[in-house]
Structure 1
Amino acid sequence: MDYVIGMDIGTTSTKAVLYNLAGNVIDYTNHSYELYRDATGMAEQEPEEILEAVTASLKKVIASINWQNDKLRTVSFSSANQSLIALDENFQPLTRIITWGDTRAAAAATKIKNSAQGQDLYERTGTPIHPMSSLCKISWLKEDVPEVYNKAAYYCGIKEYVLYRLFGIWQMDVSVASCTGMYNIFELQWDDKALAQTGVSKEQLPKVVDAYEQFSGMKEEYTKITGCPQDVTFVQGAFDGALSNLGVNAIDDGVAAVTIGTSGAIRMVSDHPVIDPKGRIFCYALTKELWVIGGPVNNGGTVFSWAKDNLFDAEKSTADLLAKDSYDLLTEIAAQVPAGSDGLLFHPFLGGERAPIWDANARGSFFGLTQMHTRAHMVRAVLEGIVYNLYTVLLALEEVLGQPQSILATGGFARSELWRQMLSDVFERPVTIPQAFESSCLGAAVVGMKSIGVIDDLAEVKNFVGETETYAPNPDHFDVYRELVPIYIRLTRQLKTEYQTIAEFQRKYAQKDSASD
């Protein structure tokens, strides 16, 4: 038997899936790690913890291979995008991994966005000006953390750091590069204007390669840890969002993929770069021939976790909660409330927001709360707020690429019957749930298979996705959602003027509390 492995180095865990060449899952593992947060907007990870998770994940699935009869054809990588780590001249970390969710570069982002070149930078790089991007993170280090910036000889993201440690190579795939805000998506090279903004040279950044780039020769210390032979071919891969689209076969014109895990996104694929004149959506590479256009949201599963931990703490000790998954119980509670939560709206901006408002200062809120509303109303409003926000991203995407003919939904939320139906009802169109398991890992594996010649075209992913299930919208809910969504959008615009004020208040008192400690 011949095998391939797709590995996804994610925000909260590293996953590895062992597939046979028919795309069937043979083995799977998931190693989690800490995401370190505080009130300043910090969202960091320890590089060593992630490296250990990668090697442990590889070791676990490789153990299923019988080396006498089986062959591992390739290992291909997916990773979270828009992480940044500063390194010294010896490639030693000067920082932890500053993740996409870190908002400390908010002031730097605002300054760049409001400058004369802000829109031009977006149109050259396809990356909205936001604290998530390496462009803004490095600008923040330059202004506010000069002791790190002045020592930094190199910058990269988590995938590049892991590959450097495992193989001694210094390269970044075009997909991840296109997410940095420093890569010109039309010229396919590091952008001179973006580099000038950060004060970073091309020599401080990895060499940019295609998703199909092959390499081998893992360092001996890691072959001993993982059990992976040195002659196994590894493939660079791409960032997780692009590979998730590929992994559910959402790479054709007119197909949109909605993903909600820790965060969320809606994405479509084009054969050429597409820029939004209003700057609401991104344009990133999957490969040099395929471009992913869409919008990411910060607030997906993390918001539901917040609701579980803070709105329903008392239920944690009940027999019902002990007898079943807490998320399933909460969705059952939410299902008892009618569509629209009896007029209770929730803006899910607990971690600022990316698309479509691109405001790191955005904050969450309930609106319309009355004495008749219960915690069940609140948890349904939380779920609906997440979907309303995704719908506003879809509206922006439709302005640029037109209405999608079909919508595929994946991620942790896709297991919920209530959420699937809610998505279909708010979007007013059928939503299809692919059976594909760990879509980013499958997407990585398919890129790997094309790289080594097992398949001729990425479109062959359709043979690996498996069965699908489609949810039809319920017309009985249309009137309610058609009334509430415009209110939700108008409120977002009206509250925008106060987001910065309340965010500055929160940061000020967080710093005072930190100083007193």
Structure 2
Amino acid sequence: MKYVIGVDLGTSAVKILLVDQQGNVAHEVSKSYPLIQEKTGYSEQEPEVWVDQTAAGLSDLLQETGISPEEVEGISFSGQMHGLVLLDEKNRVLRPAILWNDTRTTEQCKSIYRQVGEEKLLSLTKNPALEGFTLPKLLWVKQNEPDIYQRAHKFVLPKDYLRYKMTGELHMEYSDAAGTLLLNISEKQWSPEICEAVGIDVDLCPPLVESHAEIGTITEDFAERTGMHAATRVFAGGADNACGAIGSGILEDGKTLCSIGTSGVVLSYEQGPEKDFKGKVHYFNHGAENAYYTMGVTLSAGYSLSWFKEVFASDEDFDDLLADVGSVPVGANGLLFTPYLTGERTPHADAAIRGSFIGMGSSHQRSDFVRAVMEGITFSLNESIDIFRQSGKQIDTIVSIGGGAKNEVWLQMQADIFDAKIVKLSSEQGPGMGAAMLAAYGCGWFDSLADCADHFLKEAASYEPNQENVQQYRELFLLYKSIYKHTADINHELMRYRK
């Protein structure tokens, strides 16, 4: 039997999937790691922890399955986007990685607009200057840690560093490069114009490759450390959202994805880079060759529900927490929640905004709050769908993955709020499956990623919108959208009281 491995390097854990030639997940292993959050808005991780936990996970996978290492033909990666890993001339890590959900770089974003120009930035990168992207982080280090910046030889993103430690080869692929604000996404090359404008040496940028490109094989040292076979073929991989799209079959026009993890995304396939959303949503290179995708982001999607559980139900599991949600009516008995716990991305690029419960009364029970959180997350994602529809995109079927696909009430809620058919896959593995599919395609198992998707992905269930609920949610959505403008100034004033 032949297998491929998909490694999904997430924000809180690395998830490793062993996938056979029929697309079955033969085994999976997850290894967690901590965040470093020294100040409000700061979010960092030690890159070596990614390597250590991935190595431990691969070792466990081989031991627990008992398969021969030679049966694993290829391995590829999905990775958290935007994180800055700075390396010296010997490719040693210079400081902890600054992650995608770090929001310290507001001043650097303003300086990018001053130096590059907002219209020019959008024309080259198709994205606005936001705190989560990589370039503002690079400029923050340049300004605040000049000694470290002077020693920097290359920057990479999280999965690229992991892949380097496994192969000894340093690259970045287009889907992750598109999230740096340094890539001309139409021409698929680093932008000397942006680098010159902000005072960044273009040589800091690593060589670019396609997501399915074969980078090399596992080094003897890493093979000895994990039990993997040194001849295992290693492929570049993709950004987590690009891999989530691949792993959900979003590989042609008309296909849309809703993924609810720590953050949440709504992602829709685009054939080319020609459309102009004026920076309202993200526009990135796909993991599929010469394709693109547009994407809206909710920074604290699943995280909002995890936060609520940890604060108010830390001794319970999620099944218990969600047990009574189905008995709560649409609108959570007049309670609205905005999931702005760490700021917001789409459509409000605002690092200072924070979440709200609106309409709290003494009659509300915990189950009302839980439903309000779930509805608030879904309303936030619907703001991205609303932008897509206003631009002329037809969205009638959405594949749902992540935490939002694990609960039937939430799946029906998505159908009602999005006013679209929601599809749940039989094996919902998202980015990890997308990474495995890139390895399978790279190994020559299939002629295309679309052919791989036809073999690997199966529909398990679908949920049609309830038109009575759709109408109620349309009215509630208008109220939800009004909360931001009424609370933004208050939250900005409260910034000075936050630790």
1:382 and 1:274, CA in 2 relative to 1: closer, same or farther beyond 3 A? Answer: farther
1:357 and 1:372, CA in 2 relative to 1: closer, same or farther beyond 3 A? Answer: same
Q: Per the alignment, in what secondary structure is the counterpart of residue 236 of structure 2?
A: strand
- After TM superposition, the structure 1 = structure 2 runs for residues 62-461 of structure 1, keeping only pairs within 5 Å, are 62-63=62-63, 64=65, 66-67=67-68, 71-113=71-113, 117-285=117-285, 286-312=287-313, 316=315, 321=316, 326-400=317-391, 402-460=393-451, 461=453
Cα deviation, residue 340, structure 1? 0.3
TM-score (norm 2): 0.94
Q: Per the alignment, in what secondary structure is the counterpart of residue 323 of structure 2?
A: helix
Q: Does 1:49 align with 2:49?
A: yes
1:168 and 1:401, CA in 2 relative to 1: closer, same or farther beyond 3 A? Answer: farther
1:122-171 alpha-carbon deviations (Å, 9 max, x no partner): 33112331111111111222233333323322211112212222222111
The residue number in structure 2 matching 1:513 is none
The 2-side partners of 1:76 and 1:473 are apart by 37
The residue number in structure 1 matching 2:493 is 501
Q: Per the alignment, in what secondary structure is the counterpart of residue 238 of structure 2?
A: strand
The 2-side partners of 1:85 and 1:487 are apart by 41
Q: Which moved more, 1:265-274 or 1:196-205?
A: 196-205
Alpha carbons 2:7, 2:76 under 8 Å: kept? yes
Cα deviation, residue 437, structure 1? 3.4
Alpha carbons 2:112, 2:198 under 8 Å: kept? no
The 1-side partners of 2:74 and 2:47 are apart by 24
The residue number in structure 2 matching 1:17 is 17
Cα deviation, residue 114, structure 1? 6.6
Alpha carbons 2:252, 2:271 under 8 Å: kept? no
Identity within the alignment, %: 30
The residue number in structure 1 matching 2:459 is 467
Q: Per the alignment, in what secondary structure is the counterpart of residue 109 of structure 2?
A: helix
Q: Per the alignment, in what secondary structure is the counterpart of residue 465 of structure 2?
A: coil
One-letter identity of the residue aligned with 1:291: Y
Cα deviation, residue 291, structure 1? 0.8
The 2-side partners of 1:401 and 1:274 are apart by 14
The residue number in structure 2 matching 1:515 is none
1:465 and 1:209, CA in 2 relative to 1: closer, same or farther beyond 3 A? Answer: same
Cα deviation, residue 379, structure 1? 1.8
The 1-side partners of 2:191 and 2:490 are apart by 34
The 2-side partners of 1:153 and 1:252 are apart by 38
1:66 and 1:335, CA in 2 relative to 1: closer, same or farther beyond 3 A? Answer: closer
The 2-side partners of 1:214 and 1:251 are apart by 21
Alpha carbons 1:343, 1:484 under 8 Å: kept? no
For structure 2, the 5+ residue unaligned runs are none
1:438 and 1:251, CA in 2 relative to 1: closer, same or farther beyond 3 A? Answer: same
1:434 and 1:483, CA in 2 relative to 1: closer, same or farther beyond 3 A? Answer: same
Paired residues in the alignment total 496
1:65 and 1:206, CA in 2 relative to 1: closer, same or farther beyond 3 A? Answer: farther
Q: Once superposed, what is the RMSD of the aligned Cα atoms?
A: 1.9
The 2-side partners of 1:401 and 1:128 are apart by 21
Alpha carbons 2:256, 2:395 under 8 Å: kept? yes
Q: Which moved more, 1:33-42 or 1:79-88?
A: 33-42
The 2-side partners of 1:59 and 1:406 are apart by 39
1:296 and 1:134, CA in 2 relative to 1: closer, same or farther beyond 3 A? Answer: same
Cα deviation, residue 197, structure 1? 4.2
Cα deviation, residue 110, structure 1? 3.6
The 2-side partners of 1:57 and 1:119 are apart by 45
TM-score (norm 1): 0.91
Out of 471, 482, 496, the position equivalent to 1:490 is 482
1:388-436 alpha-carbon deviations (Å, 9 max, x no partner): 0000011112233512231110002211112111111111222111112
Q: Per the alignment, in what secondary structure is the counterpart of residue 341 of structure 1?
A: coil
1:377 and 1:111, CA in 2 relative to 1: closer, same or farther beyond 3 A? Answer: farther
Q: Does 1:479 align with 2:480?
A: no
For structure 1, the 5+ residue unaligned runs are 511-517
1:239-297 alpha-carbon deviations (Å, 9 max, x no partner): 11111111111222111100001111000111212554431111111244111211121
One-letter identity of the residue aligned with 2:299: N
The 1-side partners of 2:80 and 2:277 are apart by 26
Cα deviation, residue 458, structure 1? 1.0
Alpha carbons 1:255, 1:405 under 8 Å: kept? no
Alpha carbons 2:116, 2:194 under 8 Å: kept? no
Q: Per the alignment, in what secondary structure is the counterpart of residue 269 of structure 1?
A: strand
The 1-side partners of 2:203 and 2:391 are apart by 35
